[in-house]
Amino acid sequence: MGIVVIALSATPSSTTDDHNPTDDHLPLPTKRKEMPAFVGRFLAQRAQSCDKSPRVCRAKASPGPNCCNKRCVNVMNDKGNCGKCGNKCKYTEICCRGKCVNPSKDERHCGRCNNYCGRGNSCSYGLCSYA
């Protein structure tokens, strides 16, 4: 009797084949460009025009005090504007104190900005005294 129940329960799923593959296409969600949580509508409008009014970059919620390519940035730590507008760091580098450095081997910025390894220690693979 247990075998009959299994056979009957398997039969309806195999006989109901009214599946239409064309109905499976759902519209893909559209990708919205979202602003960071700290940037309000008012600041976003003003940030786009910092070339005309650079003082908007000095607001508290601004990403940085400098205006580069109509965007507020901090040239002390921005990879695309390191030290000055338009100065891009290489892929393996980060911007620390306005200079492009390689954190995998820089002893003053080992692994991250301002991580000094100390006297007699070396930086390898972003770690102080690795070997």
Across the chain, mean pLDDT equals 76
> pLDDT digit string (tens) for 66-110?
999 889 999 999 999 999 999 999 999 999 999 999 999 999 999
Based on the structure, what is the number of domains in the chain?
A: 2
pLDDT band at 47 (very low <50, low <70, confident <90, very high): very low
Pick the more confident residue, 56 or 33: 56
Q: Report the pLDDT value the prediction gives residue 91, as an integer from 0 to 100.
A: 95
Length of the chain: 131
3-state DSSP assignment of residue 44: helix
Q: Looking at the predicted structure, is the pLDDT value of residue 37 above 90?
A: no
In a domain, 10, yes or no: no
How far apart are alpha carbons 32 and 17 in whole angstroms?
A: 38
In a domain, 56, yes or no: yes
Q: Contact 78/89 with Cβ under 8 angstroms?
A: no
List the domain range (segments joined by +) for residue 110: 101-130
How far apart are alpha carbons 116 and 128 in whole angstroms?
A: 8
In a domain, 32, yes or no: no
Which residues lie across from 95 on neighbouring strands? 100
Maximum Cα–Cα distance across the chain: 84
